[in-house]
Every structure is written in C-alpha cells, then in structure tokens.
Structure 1
C-alpha cells in the first residue's frame, strides 16, 4: 500500500443550499479511524436523493455539524484497519453504504473524497465480476429495496406493484422480487421511454404513468412498493390485507414509510445473485461523472430524470 497522506481532495459544503454551495477542497484532513472502522481509498462513489436533500438542509435537525463532505455509497480499497476489525484487511476491495442510519447524524466526512472512514459492519467484499463504478451504485439502493420487501413480508408466490420502477431503488425492487424472493407477478411504472427497461429488469406488466391513471388500476397486488412517494396510489392498488411500503412521504394508510438501516451483511447475502448475473446494477448512461463534475452530477440527479444510479468515477 502506498503511504496515506494527511490531506486529501474532497467535495465539501459549509452552508446549506443549492449545488452552488459545493466546492472542491484539496486540503481536507484524511479522517482518523476508530477501532471498529477501516480507512477506504475511494475509487468510485454514487449519489442518492438523500445526499441533495441533506445539502438543501432538509435533515438539519438530525444532521452532523457543517462543513460536510457528502456521499453515502462507496466502492474502494481498504488501506488501514482499526484494532477491533475482524474480517477485513488491507488490500480488500469493498463496497457499502457508509451511514448506518442515513438520517440520524450521518458522517460529516462522506464518500465524495479520496478517503473515507467506515465501520467494518457496513461493508462487504465487492462482487468479483463487477468493477468499482458498477459496485458503487449498488449499496444504499439495493439495501433499501431489500429492507422494504422484508418489512412488507414479501415472499414467494406474491404479486407486487413497484411505483417508480426505473429509479435506483425501484429497479432493484423488481429484480429482487423476481430472482431472490420468487414473485408470482411483477408490475411496475415508468415514463413511456423506460417501459422496455422495466420488462428487461423482470416486470411482467410495464405501466406508463403518463397514460394510465395509477389511482384506478384494474388489478390489485399483494404488495405495493412506492419508491417515489405517490401518496394515495399505493393504498388504492393493494389487495385487502396486503402491504404498502414506501421510502418517502406522504403515504396514505395502510401504507408505511421506513428509513434504511445500512448493513454490510445484506450485501454479502446478495453477492451470489450479483456474481451469478441474476441481478444486475443499473447505472445512468449519462455517467459516470468525473470527480471534477460532482456539482453537475448533483444537478442531473435533482432533475428527477435519472435512470438507475448516478455514479462518480474515477476518484480523484
């Protein structure tokens, strides 16, 4: 391993606001690691909606202090291990969501930097068939998709409707429901241009939300996974006794919202499905964005038109 410097390049903001508060700083201190953490040399990172919501100040009440280096998703190489680290070693290629509770005191120094400090339990060994930029887009979205399916008690033989099937989380919900959980029928919504993508991911029924009234669908489903916050739509489409789960509000009863708890063990459990090619990461074709263009990547994500994940690579 090459020597670890004391300073690094990182994207940072000192105040809440639009993309103009972001700046590239070449003199940020490399974070110190605690006993259960490893230091990761970041090779690729990915953006999530929570990153821009945090930058806008929406999470101010539970945020860590400013200044902030944003970023939750990381893929990189372990370059230093804490004294209580059991299973990871220097040189390991890893990936993960670095914030265990994304809305409760997320790390002040995130993944949009040359180095980041991460608890061992939040990381997994990178799938051997995926490069760093593909791996970087996986963790937060796949863990969110999986936790939502678990909380909705989804299981083999059940049907599911995915609202927002072409997004970062929705694209994983379709794939996990089909290939990991054994869904009997999968419907998903998107705009006209992404209907074929939904079918390629495993949807039996691709619904064009620009042409169909989603509140009056003729079919009912055992589970509705609302990945975009469509309020009353899910409860209108669920069978009696079924479950509606969402990741952003508002969501009408009987639906419920949950906040992801990140866990590297989930990634380890799903790695065989990734390595076999049964499930595949979906990164937006406009990417990857180079490290110098992080502000542009944020602007693009904030249009709401991204397909899959917006990835930053290489770093730096």
Structure 2
C-alpha cells in the first residue's frame, strides 16, 4: 500500500539514498547506489520532495555518456544523481514558496534549462529538490507513476508545437511517434491544437498502437521513406534526429521542429525550458483523459533495476515512458 502524504510531513532528512555516477560512461559501467547522499540546503524558492516515482528520459542517457560534451558543458561537477522527472510529496518549503504546502502531491521536471545548469541531485533518489516554478500540483486522477511520466515529454511536445505556431486545421508528421515525446506530440496536436491530419513514423509492430492513439496515417519507417511521399505537411516534428529528411517532407510555407542537437536550419531547434505552468495549463486535458500518460510495458521498474531500465531506454525501443517505482 502506498504511504499517505501525511506520513512525510514529520521528518526532514539530511541525507538520501540515490543512484549516482562519478564518471561518464554506459549505465552498467558507471551507475551505483549511494546510501547517504547529502541533501543540499533549500533555497528560498525551492521545495524538498519525497520522491514516489521518477521517469527516465533519453537526455539522462546522453548526459551520462557525455553525448553533449562538444556542444554544451552540462556536468562541470561530478558525481551526479541522474533524473529529470519526478512525482512526489512536498516535505519542506523554502521561505518564499507560496504555491505549495507540506503534504502536497506534486510533479515536474526539476532541471529548468534542459541541458545546462543541471542539478547534481536528480530524481533517482529518495528525496530531491526543485524550484517552485518548475512544479505543479498532481491531478488527483493520475497515479504517481502516471504523473512522473508526463513532465519532460509533454512539456517538450508543447514547446515545440508552440514555437512552430501550430494551430487548428494544420497537418503534422511526427518522427518517432511511439516514443515518450512523440506520443505526447500526437495527443496534443489532436486534442489541444485541433490538427486536421496526423501522420507519424514507427516500427512495424507499433502501427496499430499509433492508430489507437489518434494517428490518421502511421508510416512504417522500415518499409517507407517518409520524405519520398507525395503528401507534405504543415509541420514535421522530429524527435529522432532526422532533420534533413524532415525538411523534405514540409509543404511550402510549412515548418520543421527538432529536439535533437545540433539541428539543421531552417528547422527550429530547441531545448526544453521546464515550466510548471505548462502542466497547469494542460491539467484539464489530463483530468478529462483526452491526453493520457503512455507507459512502456516495462513500467513500473523497481529502484533496484535502474541500470537495466537505462540500458533499455538506450535502445530507443520504448513505447512511451519508463517509470521507476517504488522508490525506497
């Protein structure tokens, strides 16, 4: 049985059990459990969270393997506890926090700038810290596991559609439609923005999954080159790093957006800026069930199996999100 929020409001720890790495490399070579990681002092605008569930993102793997070293310098300080997404319970407040109180159930992506200025205490930990502005109240209809799957993926999906000025009546092609971000782009395009037609690429076994998610035209990338289709799109949203091909599938006057660095102009490349306000704005769609959490069959992964979970995320075969739960 899951502990209630009341159980967390009495004791405030100074240390936490956490997964960490002290050098860059593959998960199986560098990840270890630290029994007593020190929790930093809370800043005035931060809250301390008892982590209940945490989801994994491709950015975690890229950070761990030092994929960004020639583009950014995301980790000047090792060792590091990985993890961006959290769902949990507030156990302590900074002096200026007004949005939350102790005992509140919250969720969010704790790294505001996506790849730079990242926290050394991430979410794969019994406790973590985040700024108030990065968090939102967890909708009561979502479990902690479901809530943890949303923040980075749905915020990235939203920011890309927003930057491309996507709007009702436009068509979209999503590259990597079955992934964490892709599944949310599809749902937002359909239910929030009112897309006229949605196409998406995936592997053969996921075509029916995409149809059920609302895709009008699933494309099996193992059998078809999407850029050679006669049909072109108002927006191509690239989640996989095929930007040059994506640009060939854009209709005249349309746009391409990519989340995979370095990007290829004129495609719009961006790195997510985490905002709790996006989760607040989308909350009615989560509560109505129009925008759903998409969980990979591997979910939930116990805390002890984090290395195996990261190795699986690295294969890029996940459908939706891999979430770690319970966290001791």
Does the TM-score normalized on the shorter chain lie above 0.5?
A: yes
TM-score, normalised relative to structure 2? 0.94
**Number of the residue aligned with 1:50:** 59
Residue 29 (structure 1) aligned with residue 38 (structure 2): yes
Q: Secondary structure at the match of 2:36?
A: strand
How many angstroms apart in 1 are the aligned matches of 2:217 and 2:74? 40
How many angstroms apart in 1 are the aligned matches of 2:84 and 2:92? 19
Residue 204 (structure 1) aligned with residue 216 (structure 2): yes
**Number of the residue aligned with 1:13:** 21
Deviation at 1:87? 1.0
What is the root-mean-square deviation of aligned Cα atoms in Å?
A: 1.1
How many angstroms apart in 2 are the aligned matches of 1:230 and 1:298? 23
How many angstroms apart in 1 are the aligned matches of 2:217 and 2:139? 30
Q: Report how many residues are paired.
A: 316
Deviation at 1:304? 1.1
Residue 248 (structure 1) aligned with residue 256 (structure 2): no
Higher mean Cα deviation, 198-207 or 75-84? 198-207
Residue 59 (structure 1) aligned with residue 68 (structure 2): yes
Contact 2:243 2:258 in 1 (8 A): no
| Residue among 199, 211, 235 paired with 1:223 | 235
Higher mean Cα deviation, 36-45 or 283-292? 283-292
Deviation at 1:251? 4.0
Q: Secondary structure at the match of 2:52?
A: strand
Offset from partner CA, 1:30-79 (integer Å, 9 cap, x none): 23210000000000001101101111122342324111000000000000
Give ranges in structure 1 of 5+ residues lacking alignment: none
Contact 2:77 2:120 in 1 (8 A): yes
Contact 1:32 1:117 in 2 (8 A): no
How many angstroms apart in 2 are the aligned matches of 1:29 and 1:159? 49
Deviation at 1:166? 0.2
TM-score, normalised relative to structure 1? 0.98
| Residue among 298, 303, 309 paired with 2:310 | 298
Q: Secondary structure at the match of 2:243?
A: coil
Q: Secondary structure at the match of 1:105?
A: coil
Contact 1:231 1:249 in 2 (8 A): no
| Residue among 192, 203, 208 paired with 1:180 | 192
Contact 2:63 2:74 in 1 (8 A): no
How many angstroms apart in 2 are the aligned matches of 1:201 and 1:154? 19
Deviation at 1:269? 0.4
Q: Secondary structure at the match of 2:155?
A: helix
Aligned 1:53-92 pairs, distance under 5 A: 53-60=62-69, 61-92=73-104
Give ranges in structure 2 of 5+ residues lacking alignment: 1-8
| Residue among 120, 130, 136 paired with 1:118 | 130
How many angstroms apart in 1 are the aligned matches of 2:264 and 2:53? 37
Contact 1:215 1:232 in 2 (8 A): no
| Residue among 38, 42, 46 paired with 2:47 | 38
Contact 1:223 1:243 in 2 (8 A): yes
